[in-house]
Amino acid sequence: MFKKYRILKWSIISFLGIVLSLFIFGWWFMNLLPSAENRTDVTITKVSDLPYLSKDVLSKRGKILAIVTSTAKMGNTDKSTGYELTELSRAYYVFQANGFEVDIASPLGGEPPVVIDDEDMGPYDFAFLNDSLAQYKAKHTIPVKDVNPALYEAVFFAGGKGAMFDFPENTSIQLIVKKMYQSNKVIGAVCHGPAALVNVTLDTGRPLLENKNVSGFTNDEELLLISDAKNIFPFLLQDELEDQGGIFNEGTMYLENISQENNLVTGQNPWSTWKLAETMITQLGYALKYREITAEENAVKVLKVYEAEGSHKAKELMKQMVSIDNKPMERILIAKHGIIAAMQGKIGKFFSLVGLTSYAKNISKDL
């Protein structure tokens, strides 16, 4: 009896020790992140606050069409969806800053559903919410059946899981893509946006995607967050792009990655939006207007070096950026990638990225 009691006693002590250790680690981990009081309130950002948009305004060069989903639910589930605001807002302002007027369309027209993830929002995204003209266009979208492709120099398909349901079979979208592509205009699509390309057949009778390098939201990215995605979506985007003859370019999960085949530019995920939109501008034949790189983009650069060359090189780059060049660094994103590693069961990588997050805090001057 006493032996059983001792075993029970030590089991309880061990359990409490584990709980206490997890609590201490969690407290330490949370302290690696910027505190709310030390973060600038970007929710009130206006276009006039952003020099990229308000200074040295370029004369108009033409128009670009952005297309977003009209789908509010994922298939037969009660899971809400829509277009990703960050993917529309960032592309919208790259196009605008570089001299293009932007129209917004959707399969049904009117006000489409939107996904706003507060954790991913930055100054440009809140500026979009505070921009009366941008909001009018976003809430009064043009039905794609009414779009005249001849009016536009390029078309951009924003992502959002809803695109998987109402982009692929839409004949008006297929016609827009085909006409613009065959007129040597620029086609761009990011994250789930490339779902618009999967059923496009050119006048040659061949699929648009055949033998072309292409990127989009990967199977691994999809299934990590939605384990039953195969049952919810009509297809997994990576599989379908490959089935259409595309040569799928798979980059690191949740990091910037784009593919370009002449006037066809595609991006893997939301973090690819800036580069994709700017690549569209250069493909149109224009030099890019200078834009200060965001703190999130700097974190992405560090994470890409980490994935390719390890923690030591990532720290070297981070020190150069933050301590020497005084560039902003969004260390929350680095911490998130640590959590992703833990979700994948990569515990060593998790602790390595926690260490990288800690290093980022130690060299930061603002926190």
DSSP sequence for 166-224: HSTT-HHHHHHHHHHHHTT-EEEEETTGGGGGTT-B-TTSSBTTTT-EE--S-HHHHHH
Q: Is residue 139 part of a domain?
A: yes
DSSP state of 119: G
Residues 137 and 228 in one domain: yes
65/206 same-domain check: yes
Domain annotation covers residue 37 = no
Which pLDDT belongs to residue 34?
A: 60
CB 237 within 8 A of CB 194: yes
158 in a structural domain: yes
Asked if residue 168 belongs to a domain, the reply is yes
Average pLDDT over residues 135-156: 98
Tens of pLDDT, residue by residue over 262-292, are: 999 999 999 999 999 999 999 999 999 999 9
248 & 198 share domain: yes
Domain boundary among 225, 260, 283: 283
Q: Is residue 38 part of a domain?
A: no
**Residue 93 and residue 187 in one domain:** yes
| Buried-exposed string 204-214: b where 16+ CB fall within 10 A, e elsewhere | eeebbbeebeb
Look at residue 301 and tell me whether its pLDDT is greater than 60. yes
Does this model's pTM top 0.85? My answer is yes
Tokens of 249: 């370019």
- Cα–Cα distance, 304 to 364 (Å, whole number): 20
Does one domain contain both 130 and 171?
Answer: yes
Dihedral, 316, 319, 321, 325 alpha carbons, nearest 10: -130
Question: What pLDDT sits at residue 14?
Answer: 45
The range of the structural domain enclosing residue 331 comes to 293-367
pLDDT of res. 8: 44
Q: 299 and 176: one domain?
A: no
Burial of 361: CB neighbours in 10 Å, binned 0-12, 13-18, 19+: middle
238 and 303 fall within a common domain: no
314 and 165 within one domain: no
Does residue 194 form part of some domain?
A: yes
In this predicted structure, which of 31-35, 178-182, 184-188, 217-221 has the lowest mean pLDDT? 31-35
Q: Per-residue pLDDT tens for 213-255?
A: 999 999 999 999 999 999 999 999 999 999 999 999 999 999 9
Is residue 365 located within the same domain as residue 228? no
Same domain, 124 and 174: yes
Phi, psi (degrees; rounded to nearest 5) at 106: -155, 160
Assigned domain for 288 exists: no
Residues 20, 114, single domain; the answer is: no
2 and 149 belong to one structural domain: no
Rounded to whole angstroms, the Cα distance separating 158 from 174 reads 15
300 contacts 273 by C-beta, under 8 angstroms: no
Per-residue pLDDT for 80 more than 60? yes
Percentage of the chain beyond pLDDT 70 is 89
